[in-house]
Amino acid sequence: MPDITIENMVISTRVADSIDLDQIANNLPDVEYQPHNIPGIIIQLTTPRSTVIIFKDGQVTFTGAKTPEQINEIINTIQSKLLIVGVPRCTHPEIKIQNIVASTSIGRHLSLSTIAKSLPYSEYNPKKFPGIIYQTDDPNTIILLFDSGKVVCNGTNQDIITDQIEKLIAKLKSMGLAT
């Protein structure tokens, strides 16, 4: 089984039924609010490093978390900031993972042109992108392969990502293209 590292997750949750974005923009430091560009408040957190967007309907979307603990830490930090402007804490916010980016390494350089010819559902055009774009058998999961042996996978579920990477490595091994 390859050593897979979560690089980033995109998470959504709801922390209130409605939020007065003007009140937040006027009372919290270090927030960005440009409603003509983005219909939400943007907050950059340093620990854990993340970008958070808060919408007036109480929805919150953020990126940057790599672990469940970081997800909870970011939600707690946002709720603490909102408490300052009178938005009560949501005791059990429903957390939805929208996207996960994970990576691993095959441990050797890859001949992308050879792999692209042998691997169905793959696209390789080095003039446009320096890697193979491989559509897995899961419609929500895409894998990128690079000549360095690095593999990046984008999907919605960590178990599916792991499964799809394992299937790809097994395919490459069966074709004699990986060890």
User: What's the rounded Cα separation, in Å, for the pair 39 and 18?
Assistant: 13
Q: Are 48 and 73 in contact (CB under 8 A)?
A: yes
pLDDT (0 to 100) of residue 173: 87
Q: What is the per-residue pLDDT across 153-178, written as a single tens digit (0 to 9) for each? A: 999 999 999 999 999 999 988 888 77
Do residues 97 and 11 lie in contact, with contact meaning Cβ atoms separated by under 8 Å?
yes
Domain boundaries, the chain: 12-96, 106-174
Given CA atoms 165, 152, 43, 69 in this order, what sign does their dihedral have?
positive
* C-alpha–C-alpha distance, residues 172 and 119, integer Å: 8
State in words which class domain 106-174 has. alpha beta
pLDDT digits (tens, 9 = 90+) for 44-95: 999 999 999 999 999 999 999 999 999 999 999 999 999 999 999 998 899 9
Spell out the CATH class of 12-96. alpha beta
Is residue 12 within 8 Å of residue 94, measured between CB atoms?
no
Q: Look up the pTM and report it.
A: 0.88
Tally Cβ neighbours within 10 Å of residue 6.
16
